[in-house]
A and B are shown apart, each in its own frame.
Chain A
Amino acid sequence: MRETLVVFRRELRSFFLSPIAYVFGILLVSVLLYYVSEGALQNGARASAEGLFATLPLMLVLFLPGLTMRMWAEERKLGTLELLMTFPVRIGQLVFGKFLACVVYLACVLALTLGLPLTLGAYGKLDWSPVLGSYLASLLFASSFVAVGMFWSSTTRDQMVAMLLSLVSLFVLYQLGNPQNVEYASDWMPAWLVDLVSGLSPHKYFVSIARGVLDSRDIVYFACFCGFFLYANALVLESRRQRG
């Protein structure tokens, strides 16, 4: 645990010292709030942050690969990965420490959007519990995408390749849960396969929590999803280390 915390602190510090994290944060928050605030801040409209959380997943799909691409690829490019491997920590601890740092950084970025719910709460009766639930859902959703992005970052030394692979896979995962696509797929795919494929998308579980119901099934799904990709990440790094 101590080793994980050491890695976590190092990574978190590097986030806040790197300009890319600030550029990422400012772009994500500004674009998101620009699109959302027009609909949300209207006299007579319902005081609800639903618009924010309906737009957030797509924004994360577009922006997160830019953040996760450097997680391992940069280490490999700079040659610091080998140095990291020499530290007295398990690979799992390394992976989890980095993952945790990225999630905490994202939590800080998400916290910057709190201004909108606070404004809604000041001028209307905002139901805060579902909003907090939606923030939790967003964090879980972002975590699952971070796990995917980290995995692709571990497979290549080129950050652009890692970003493109992440972007494509996250976009596919996001679209798998899109009801229109599911309807289209159901025309030519067997129903059980449609259910299975749409069930893979974190978007579906995000929507379930964001509507205001905290369900143990959704939490377990996110935990398993993150666990699977982090484990795959560790396996890739392990095999690389063994290959020398």
Chain B
Amino acid sequence: MATPHVRTDSRSRERGSAPALVLHVLLLLVVLAQVVYLASRHRARVDLTSDGLWSTTSSTRDLLARLDKRLVVEAYFSPKEKLPVAVRETRAWADSFLDELVQLGKGNVVVQRFDPNADKAVKDKATRVGVKPLELRSQSSTSLSVDVHWQGLRFVYGGDKNKVVPQFAPGSSFLAEAVITPAIKEVITSQKRRIGYMEWPATNPQGAQAGPLGWNVLRTLDGIAKRYEFQNLKDEDGALLPDDLQTLFLFRPKDLTDRQKYVLDQFVVKGGTLVAFVDAAEYMVGPQRTMTRAPLALDAAGSSQKLTDQLLHYGIDWKPRLVADLSRDAFQPRDPVQGRFEYFAVPQLTPFGQQLSPIEYPYFFHPVAIDWKDAANDLAKDARGQVDKDLAEQYRKLFVPGMPSDEFVFQAWKQQKRGPGFYWPTWVGVRTKAGGAPDLPPDVAGRVLLWSSPLALVEDPPQSLNPIGFGDGQQRLDAYQKFAGKLRERLAAEPRQQAPLMAEVRGRFVSFFAGRERPKRPSEIKEAEAKKAEEEAKQAEAAAKQKDGEQTPPADKRAEDDAAAVATEAPAAERGDRPGRIVVVGDADFLRDDIVRGDHAQAGGPVSGRSAAPFFAQMLDWLAEDKDLVALQSKVATDRSLKLLEETRDPNADPRLHEQALRRKTTWLRALNVVLPGALLAALGLCVYFVRRAQKRTFLSSIG
């Protein structure tokens, strides 16, 4: 029998004694600590998320690549070790992102760090430039104190332009980038882009003293106001717009005179970009949410040309009618908890007491980024649930995606599968022939950018759209059921149709006023009237003098005077040299101050701030063709919500059956997931047990 061979080497002999063992362990620790340290200095990382949530976007990289001067980042940071742990995490993100900026900047980005707590002069400077301290509570069993920490940034570009981020505490690299990249963009932008606007404020239901409701909040948002300069160009005298103005916004145009229409006409004919947020009616929200229609006339008294006709002339078909969308996808808040005031919530009795809960109000909805052709079968079902194949085929030909455009203004929205929320929107499409084919003027191209679902109802604006009335709980419920029932009845009776909600036309427009008399400015009219009166007076005086034997002044002198008055304005352009652009959005309410600010949140909405501000900002960049921040704006997580059961779009389906089916499926899936893996392993174990038992028996029987 061979002696077992045991390998012993010199190293094992050395490790024999206790001190040697300890030394070994200590040396190993030192080596490993070095390895970990070196690894932290020379790191490589791969972002595994398909949305690139942990990577810098091309927006940041492109902006930094464009730097032609030095960008100094003054970081007013308290020492990290003195920060509370919660803030220390944000410092880690901030430091990591600043390091990345320096690397990407390739010498053009310099980060200078200052500790305002250590030096009074630095502290004074930080306060002076606008950095704000973080006042954090520190609590122990014996004391409570407020500690002042600093974590703000100041960007200085080329020595003169600067931008301050007063407090910078990002919770992730994405949030760090969302703050820093627009700040860099702002500081390196040489000049603001000028945008003109005209607004027709809405009636404030809180009374005249509270002031009219306009569209100021979004225009004055920091990120927008620093890059775009808005100028109010609503001139009562109807002066033509400046030639260097490229973009004009109209917020809920109404009471337009022919002269104002002429000003807009000349603007687009000469190559300007006109963006109009239009409403078919004005409904008052207010604390009681009366939803009563306020008077709104598109054309001023005495106006001979209709605004809708003018837009139709350019290729925009605006029907001043209301659109309601009865698709659940369209009017459901995306986030039932966070976004419950986005549309319409009312007090309801819940297990936790009376709370505001969202209800279905199809006049508030958003366009959904799905291809409605896919829903043709669901929508072609009859009351028994049978699919009408011919009708389904017809729907497949007719229906279009809710967000058909791939323009960058819609990228982020398409990823979220829904556009901004609209409130009492109106029909805005492109001019079509009888068969539905586009019927645009020569040299003009147009398209619809947003569509409702095919479960849309279109109607003339009713006087009241309050779904719940003003009674007690039961009366409100009855009123709501009546309101919802009427809408469903109408839906069952009317054919399926998609309503266009936003449209664009581009091209060389022919003037709407070509061949018509140029509308005069109010001042011109007054002047002409004054002149006429003066002339009449002169004539009367001359006649009186003629009687007395004096001579009248020559007639050509009077003609010269008239010509001088008319020559103050450029002649009307009938067709422009440059292509113009008209974008019309079928809602102005979603951008209005009270709805953006969330004035109605306490009453249960609507509140549009979460979608209106990003949409407006992205629209400005889109109109300006400024793609710098596109990648950053599009950096939103893909919608990954679980759909355990296909949502039926059949308007006749019973929602209770759907809920029961959903509950059954969820229970079944949970049971399967919990039981199956354990059962598989148990089955394997039993197989092994029986095989081994059989082997054992065979062996025992073989030996007798």
Contact A47 B641 (CB under 8 A): yes
Q: B2-10, B217-225, B270-278, B291-299: which lies at the A interface?
A: B2-10
Instruction: Knowing A127-B51, A182-B85 are in contact, say whether A44-B642 is a contact too (CB < 8 A).
Output: yes
Complex partner residue of B47 from A89, A179, A213, A221, CB under 8 angstroms: A213
Judged by a CB distance under 8 angstroms, whether A51 is at the interface is: no
Contact B692 A179 (CB under 8 A): no
B383 within 8 A of A: no
Contact between chains at B54 and A217 (CB < 8 Å): no
Nearest residue in B to A44 (C-beta to C-beta)?
Answer: B641
Which B residues are in CB contact (< 8 Å) with A16? 684, 688
In the complex, the chain B residue whose C-beta lies closest to that of A120 is: B642
Q: Are B673 and A215 interface neighbours, CB within 8 A?
A: no
- CB contact list, A188-244 vs B, under 8 A: 190-192, 194-195, 211-217, 220-221, 224, 227-228, 231-232, 235, 238-239, 242
Query: Does B86 sit at the interface, judged by CB under 8 A?
Result: yes
Interface: B670 (CB within 8 A)? yes
B667–chain A nearest beta-carbon distance, Å: 9
Given contacts A43-B643, A130-B48, A214-B46, contact A26 B673 (CB under 8 A): no
What A residues does B29 contact at CB under 8 A? 228
Chain A interface (Cβ within 8 Å of chain B)? 16-17, 19, 22, 25-26, 29-30, 33-34, 37-38, 41-48, 85-91, 109, 112-113, 115-116, 119-120, 123-127, 129-130, 132-133, 179, 182-183, 186-187, 190-192, 194-195, 211-217, 220-221, 224, 227-228, 231-232, 235, 238-239, 242
Known contacts A30-B674, A211-B54, A43 near B49 by CB under 8 Å: no
Mark out the residues of chain B between 654 and 685 whose CB falls within 8 Å of any chain A CB in the assembled complex. 662, 666, 669-670, 672-678, 680-682, 684-685
Query: Are B45's CB and A216's CB within 8 A?
Result: yes
Instruction: Indicate if the CB atoms of B84 and A115 lie closer than 8 Å.
Output: no
Q: A19-B685, A123-B643, A129-B50 in contact; A217/B85 too (CB < 8 A)?
A: no
**Which chain B residues border A29 with CB–CB below 8 Å?**
677-678, 681
Q: Which of B6, B36, B49 contacts A212 (CB 8 A)?
A: B49
Query: Contact between B54 and A213 (Cβ–Cβ < 8 Å)?
Result: yes
A119 B673 Cβ-Cβ under 8 A:
yes
Q: Is B12 an interface residue (CB 8 A)?
A: yes
Expressed in whole angstroms, the minimum distance between the Cβ of A151 and any Cβ of chain B is 12
A115-B672, A116-B673, A220-B35 given; name 8 further pairs at CB < 8 Å: A41-B642, A44-B641, A112-B677, A119-B673, A179-B89, A190-B81, A232-B25, A235-B25
**Is B16 located at the chain interface by the 8 A CB criterion?**
yes
Interchain nearest-CB distance for B414 vs A (Å): 14
State the CA gap A195–B35 with chains docked (Å): 18
Are the CB atoms of A239 and B21 closer together than 8 Å? Answer: yes
A191-B47 CB under 8 A given contacts A17-B692, A30-B674, A41-B644: no
Contact B53 A216 (CB under 8 A): no
Q: In the complex, what residues of B have CB within 8 A of residue A132's CB?
A: 48
Q: Which residues of B contact A116 (CB under 8 A)?
A: 673
Nearest CB on B from A108, distance (A)? 9
List B contacts of A19 (CB < 8 A).
685, 689
* B670 contacts A38, C-beta separation under 8 Å: yes
Complex contacts, B106 vs chain A, CB 8 Å? none
With A17-B692, A45-B642, A221-B36 known as contacts, the answer to whether A127 contacts B674 (CB < 8 A) is no
Tell me the minimal C-beta distance from B682 to chain A in angstroms.
6
Give residues 167-202 of B contacting A (CB, 8 Å): none
By the criterion CB–CB under 8 Å, are A26 and B45 in contact? no
Chain A residues contacting B42 (CB-CB under 8 Å) are 216
Cβ contact within 8 Å between B49 and A45: no
- The 8 closest A-B CB pairs, nearest first, are A191-B81, A86-B4, A22-B685, A220-B39, A112-B677, A129-B48, A183-B85, A124-B642
Instruction: Enumerate chain A residues within 8 angstroms of B25, measured Cβ to Cβ.
Output: 232, 235
B645 neighbours in A (Cβ, 8 Å): 43
Give B70-108 as 1s and 0s: 1 = Cβ < 8 Å from A's Cβ atoms: 000000000011101110010000000000000000000
Docked-complex contact B24 and A235, CB < 8 angstroms: yes
Interface of B is mostly: helix
Docked CA distance A26–B676 (Å): 10
Closest to A129 in B: B48
The residues of A that contact B84 with a CB separation of less than 8 Å are 183, 186
Chain A residues near B689: list those with CB within 8 A: 19
CB of B558 within 8 Å of the partner chain: no
Interface string of B628-649 (1 = CB under 8 A from A): 0000000000111111110000
Chain B residues, Cβ within 8 Å of A194:
85
Task: Specify the chain B residue showing the minimal Cβ separation from A181.
Answer: B85
Does B44 reach chain A (CB closer than 8 Å)? Answer: yes
Residue interface bits B202-229, CB-to-A below 8 A is 1, else 0: 0000000000000000000000000000
Least distance between B695 CB and chain A CB atoms (Å): 11
Look across to chain B and name the residue whose beta carbon is closest to the beta carbon of A33: B674
B1-45 contacts to A, CB under 8 A, are: 4-7, 12-13, 15-16, 21, 24-25, 28-29, 32, 35-36, 39-40, 42-45
B108 to chain A, nearest CB (A): 27
B16 near A239 with CB under 8 A, answer: yes
Indicate whether B304 reaches chain A with its CB closer than 8 angstroms: no
Contacts of A44 in B (CB 8 A): 336, 641-642
Question: Is residue B701 within 8 Å, beta carbon to beta carbon, of the partner chain?
Answer: no
* Shortest Cβ distance from B675 into A: residue: A30
- Select the residue from B640, B642, B643, B676 with max chain A CB neighbours within 10 A: B642
- Give Cα A212–Cα B51 distance, bound, in whole angstroms: 11
Give Cα distance in the complex from A150 to B50, angstroms. Answer: 37
CB distance from B676 to the nearest CB of A (A): 6
Shortest Cβ distance from B38 into A: residue: A220
Contacting residue for B644 out of A86, A123, A239, CB 8 A: A123
CB of B670 within 8 A of CB of A217, answer no
How far is B662's CA from A44's CA once the two chains are assembled, in angstroms? 11
Contacts of A130 in B (CB 8 A): 48-49
The reply to whether A215 and B43 contact each other, CB–CB distance below 8 Å, is yes
B6: nearest chain-A partner, CB-CB? A86
Query: Does B140 count as interface, using CB distance less than 8 angstroms?
Result: yes
Which chain B residue lies CB-closest to A90?
Answer: B7
Q: How far is the CA of A227 from the CA of B35 in the complex (A)?
A: 12
Residue pair B48, A33 in contact (C-beta under 8 Å): no
Chain A CB within 10 Å, residue with most, of B12, B54, B678: B678
Residues on the A chain within 8 Å of B16, using CB: 239, 242
- Per the bound structure, the CA–CA distance linking A126 and B51 in Å amounts to 12
